[in-house]
Amino acid sequence: MGDPKKVILAHSGKQHSYYIARNLQVLGSLKAFYTSAYVASPTLQRFFLSRKPGFFSRRFLEGLSGPVIHTMWSLELPEFIARLQKREAAKVTDLVCARDERFDKILSRKLKDLEFDIYWGYQGSSLRSLRAANQLNKVSLIEMTTPYLPFVKSLLTEETLFHPEWSDSIDTVSYTSGYEQRLIEEPLEASKVISVSSFLKRTLTDYGVPSEKIHVLPLGFDPSRIIFNECYERNGGRPLKLLFTGRITQAKGMKYMLDAMEQFDRKDVELHLVGNIIGSGKALMRRKKLFVHHGSMAQIKLFEFYKDFDAFLFPSLIEGFPLSVIEAMGAGLPVITTPNTSADELIIDGKTGYLVPIRDSAAIVSSIQQLLNLNKDEFQQLRLNARNKALEYTWAANRERTKYFLADL
């Protein structure tokens, strides 16, 4: 394949970019990783690993360290202070958007002085840098991790009209006009677009992004961090325990989930929610008898939590490639989800989980009932199928896919 292409990877925050950076480093392609807050010192990494998990332990990936990493810690300070002051969510969102724009402005000016073949950026923090890479005749690449904004706005605006009582929980369509335009222009400006799922690609092509410049490159998970109980046995003497994790918002299909739970007795089915409540929570708490809310949970605790559940319920209206779904499957939980997620990649209906249309409570009821009707051996096979499918989407598998993708650029 020749010498590895040299990549400038740039993410103004965190998400999964640490794993992408490490994969590129293993492939010999990482020229530099630019980010905001990251603990680059191996000594400090070892120190924080020896302590109780906290902010700093979440700001590095073991094995990814050294001078290849370039940080801009000060960019996150305004939003960090705003969160300490418990400012409203909209204010924090505005500060995150401002951070993205400042990060992009700084990096776009640096590119002319760097030696690289590919600029690899992320949504919201790449527009200027994509243009700078184009002017330098380099490959300009953007990774899309959430569906294309015009599609998102259309669907979620529609949802607020369908269910106005839940509208204050949908906060993903309120950006400044300048930031919205940035999100729209980035995939059009890039010479290549990475889409993390087939569904996300469709949201791009539906709104005019050329299909031929889009490459589907799914994300991954770390199976070593997930507990899979091979000796699990479905106990018919207790309720079927369903788990949801994520932001508790109508964008995740919360009303349809609760409508489905109305059809079951609590002695037969339990629903547990893990995550922060978005908005006032009034519509949610009117139906608090239908679920158990555990609040937000540290990732390491959540990975242990999976083993206490039978299945994962995630009827989201719109997602890119939700890592919670693949992590749940890695723990052996069959997933009930919609086509508007990573379902094309992960769900074989009736084999690794169940597919339900968006906004379809009756279909959720039917899927739960199918789970209840399974005998012990059938349930165990479903769990094994889910686990084995998830193992096709580890970070090691992502690295192999990335190798061939880069070779073809």
Tens of pLDDT, residue by residue over 206-216, are: 999 999 999 99
Secondary structure (H, E, C), 273-333:
EECCECCCCHHHHCCHHHCEECCCCCHHHHHHHHHHCCEEEECCCCCCCCHHHHHHHHCCC
Domains and CATH numbers, the chain: 7-37+72-220+394-408 (3.40.50.2000), 223-393 (3.40.50.2000)
- C-alpha separations of 273 from 20, 87, 120, 306, 372 in Å: 29, 24, 35, 12, 20
* Confidence tier at 392 by pLDDT (50, 70, 90): very high
Q: Can you tell me the distance from the alpha carbon of 212 to that of 147, in angstroms, rounded to the nearest whole number?
A: 17
Is it the case that residue 233 has pLDDT exceeding 80? Answer: no
Is it the case that residue 43 has pLDDT exceeding 70? Answer: yes
Is it the case that residue 307 has pLDDT exceeding 70? Answer: yes
Q: What is the pLDDT of residues 73-129, one digit of tens each?
A: 999 999 989 988 888 877 888 899 999 999 999 999 999 999 999 999 999 999 999
What's the pLDDT score for residue 171?
77
Q: What is the pLDDT of residues 175-231, one digit of tens each?
A: 888 999 999 999 999 999 999 999 999 999 999 999 999 999 999 999 999 988 877
What's the pLDDT score for residue 86?
82
> Given strand 240-245, what is the order of strands in its sheet?
292-293, 269-274, 240-245, 311-314, 335-337, 353-355
- Mean of all residue pLDDT scores within the chain: 94
What's the pLDDT score for residue 383?
95
Q: What is the pLDDT of residues 349-379, one digit of tens each?
A: 999 999 999 999 999 999 999 999 999 999 9
Mean per-residue pLDDT, 297-320? 93
Is it the case that residue 265 has pLDDT exceeding 60? Answer: yes
Is it the case that residue 260 has pLDDT exceeding 70? Answer: yes
Contact yes or no for 309/272 (Cβ under 8 A): yes
- C-alpha separations of 169 from 89, 155, 180, 244, 247 in Å: 11, 14, 20, 16, 9
Amino acid at 227: I
Percent of the chain with pLDDT over 70: 99
Q: Can you tell me the distance from the alpha carbon of 142 to that of 178, in angstroms, rounded to the nearest whole number?
A: 19
Higher pLDDT, 288 or 342: 288
Token code pair at residue 399: 């690295």
Alpha carbon 128 to its chain centroid, in Å, reads: 24
* Confidence tier at 235 by pLDDT (50, 70, 90): low
Is it the case that residue 174 has pLDDT exceeding 80? Answer: no
Is it the case that residue 173 has pLDDT exceeding 70? Answer: no
Contact yes or no for 359/332 (Cβ under 8 A): no
Mean per-residue pLDDT, 240-248? 97
Mean per-residue pLDDT, 45-62? 89
Q: Can you tell me the distance from the alpha carbon of 274 to that of 247, in angstroms, rounded to the nearest whole number?
A: 8
Picking from 101, 104, 103, 83, the residue whose alpha carbon sits closest to that of residue 92 is 83
- The angle at the Cα of 332, spanning 22 to 393, to the nearest 5 degrees, equals 30
